[in-house]
A and B are shown apart, each in its own frame.
Chain A
Amino acid sequence: MIPIEAVIVLGLLLFAIGTVGVVVRKNLVVMLMSLELLLNGANIVLVGLGRFLDSPRGSIFALFVIIMAVSEAAVGFALVLAYFRQKKRYDVDALDELKG
């Protein structure tokens, strides 16, 4: 039996890595991948706590998050593709039309 603290630390680590990745990386594809890490960090915590509390709710939440993540990835990559077609690049610095 894996101690719950380890599961939470792993989840937090993944979340932190994902957050940092989203914030600091400039490549859009990498940012989306970091987003997956971030979400899956949360999933690990959810599933871990579900097992720890012996409740199916954690897994059900995780399942919803996964579905949402899939949709997000699909929409996200479609946007990246459209962006790439237009600008011929995929780093996020070019996306500054909203600069005030």
Chain B
Amino acid sequence: MFVLIPLVPLLGAAVNGLIGIRWFSRRAVSVTAVGAAGLSFAAAVAAFAGLLRSTEPVVIKTLFTWVPATLVRTAAGGSASLRLDFAFRYDSLAAVMTLVVTGVGLLIHIYSVGYMAHDKSYARFFAYLNLFTSAMLVLVLGANLGVMFIGWEGVGLCSYLLIGFWFEKDAAANAGKKAFITNRVGDLGFLLGTGLLVYALGTVDIAGIAAAVEGGSLPKGTATAAALLLFVGATGKSAQIPLYTWLPDAMEGPTPVSALIHAATMVTAGVYMVARLHVLFSFSGTALVVVGLTGAFTAVYAATMGLVQTDIKRVLAYSTISQIGTMFIGLGVGAYAAGIFHLVTHAFFKSLLFLAAGSVIHALSGEQDMRKMGGLRGRLPRTYRVFLVGALAISGIPGLSGFFSKDEILASAFASGNYAIWGLGLVAAALTAFYMFRLIFLTFYGEERFPAEAGLKMRESPPMMLVPLRILAILAVAGGYVGLPSVLGGGDWFGRFLESSTGVPKARPEAMTEVLLMIGAAGVALAAIGAAHAIYVKRRGEPARRFAARFPTLARTVSRKYYVDEFYGRVFVGGVFVLARIADWIDRRVIDGLVDGSARLARGVSRLAILFDEGAVDGAVNGIGRLHLNASSVLRRLQTGRISHYALAVVLGAALVITIAVTVF
């Protein structure tokens, strides 16, 4: 029955996109879209309940054979029969992902009904949103890399469509293109990795890959190469170094899109994929270290950029990059369940933060610059409360969901002995707490910096938007308790539930160490919040300004995002332009020369043919005609039409005949 989970939103997208766009009222559109998301969520819950009761940890459902069995040559020199089924795989990992995607998706669908109420392309928006949900579910349910790739590309397409949703705006259209093209770079890696696995193993089935790796039929080097190529795909989709630059620009899309696609679900596809192929990554070892280091560096690097952004959504975008980096830290130290755990809690609190930011933006009629906010605590109290919950959760304050998942990751990193990765993770956590509360203090505290008339028409958002926010706030608080670690009296239910699909984590720290680590992390977070309070509330941002004045080069470099966009623009975009110019030159000079030359030759030949045609052929035809014309103009005079002339001719002719007859015979 879990096959219904991705099919219902697909149906919703088809109905809204093909019929609703022309003939549905706004109400009908929203009922269709939210209904499809709701049904999908219900199916996910039902499938989850079924999985809990059943003894089978993995259910595979084949819809049809996509590519019939074909013999492929493999690296070993033999041939394997490659067969691709359009199959879905439902296990504990898929269950977690479908619940997150459909659950958060449903809340964001409901929120969008309020947020997009005045948009003119209402049906288009919901058709895209449903299509995205469906593609994401295909991605997480795919039983082989082929089906997964359909979803992988589908979410990329929907991301492009939704970032460029307001395509009349140049910035939005360009951001969409940037996201799509950057993702293509990653997708190439994914495809190459898949191809390498086909070549090495002759299968792309997830179970088949795991069996082959565990059976020892894969050389370590090939495994590393395949895993790294797949990870390139993950860096594109999940916005990690070096392919992260598209995500901040993606904030040009509508805020619910930022929450659903660019925070909660699509960008975590890379994390999911690595966890799904954990056998391959663990076997390689090297690839796992690369994953962990990439995650750690991205976590810190993106967090530093989040410190100086002034656009409320861009702060959250950098925060997303940083948090996904944290998830990759978890994966990189072999704690796959911890990475997925953070993925889940992050989906709750980050979509909460995005939607709450959307509520702020909505109240300020589209203003996103935090320098023009301030003092909103009294005016938007409900939004402020949920925002604060989200910020506390992401900062890792004890008792909220972010604390449990982040500490799970940091504890695993510490236990694995990668102290550098652990240290970077801790720094990222401190920076996260700092920039989140910088955002809170700049937005909700201090003096009001928005124009007076904006204050007059400011309204708290409608219940349609606030109810999903409250539900997400509850989840952001309570969501962590499913993975309550054993040292705190819990049973780490989440980790054990995932063991059937992501394996048993290698190392756990001593209970005492774990508690110390927790206290340390919480202390660091509280200290960072305190520092933010001291700088941005007590002294109104003065130390930050003084710091920027003292080190202008550093401040400028960070606020210009380390000039990476400029560097990519110069090297890759510029490089493409240079290549295009060379190709253009070759085209004009060489290819066009050849084409023109052959054309000139053909023209010369045809001119000769014309001469022959006009001179010889036409001359003959016309000559014959003219001969007849001339002859007839003489001979026609004989035919006078006078009967007497004819009679005379008859008589003379008879006389001639008789004369000849008489004289000859």
Contacts and interface: CB of A to CB of B under 8 A. Distances in A.
A14 to B, nearest CB: 15
A71 B639 CA distance: 28
B642 A92 contact: yes
Interface stretch (A3-11, A22-30, A51-59): A22-30
Contacts of B635: 100
A23 B638 contact: no
Contact of B644 (A26, A97, A98, A99): A26
Nearest to A99: B641
Interface string B611-637: 000000000000000000000000111
B648 A99 contact: no
Interface in A27-84: 31
A25 B643 CA distance: 10
Interface residues of A, number: 15
Contacts of B644: 22-26, 92
Contact of B642 (A19, A25, A93): A93
A96 B648 contact: no
Contacts of B651: 19, 23
A19 B635 CA distance: 26
A22 to B, nearest CB: 5
Interface residues of B, number: 13
B647 interface: yes
B549 to A, nearest CB: 114
Contacts of B648: 23
Interface in B181-219: none
B455 to A, nearest CB: 107
B639 A99 contact: yes
B640 A92 contact: no
Contacts of B643: 31, 92, 95
A100 B651 CA distance: 21
Contacts of B642: 92-93, 96
B647 A97 contact: no
Nearest to B636: A100
A18 B511 CA distance: 153
B71 to A, nearest CB: 85
B613 to A, nearest CB: 34
Given A92-B642, A93-B642, A100 B637 contact: yes
28 contacts: A22-B644, A22-B647, A23-B644, A23-B647, A23-B648, A25-B644, A26-B644, A31-B643, A92-B642, A92-B643, A93-B642, A95-B643, A96-B640, A96-B641, A96-B642, A97-B641, A98-B639, A98-B641, A99-B639, A99-B640, A99-B641, A100-B635, A100-B636, A100-B637, A100-B638, A100-B639, A100-B640, A100-B641
Given A31-B643, A97-B641, 8 more contacts: A19-B651, A22-B644, A23-B648, A26-B644, A92-B644, A99-B639, A100-B635, A100-B636
The 10 closest A-B pairs by CB, nearest first: A99-B641, A96-B641, A100-B639, A100-B636, A98-B641, A92-B643, A23-B648, A23-B647, A22-B647, A23-B644
Interface of B: 635-644, 647-648, 651
Interface of A: 19, 22-26, 31, 92-93, 95-100
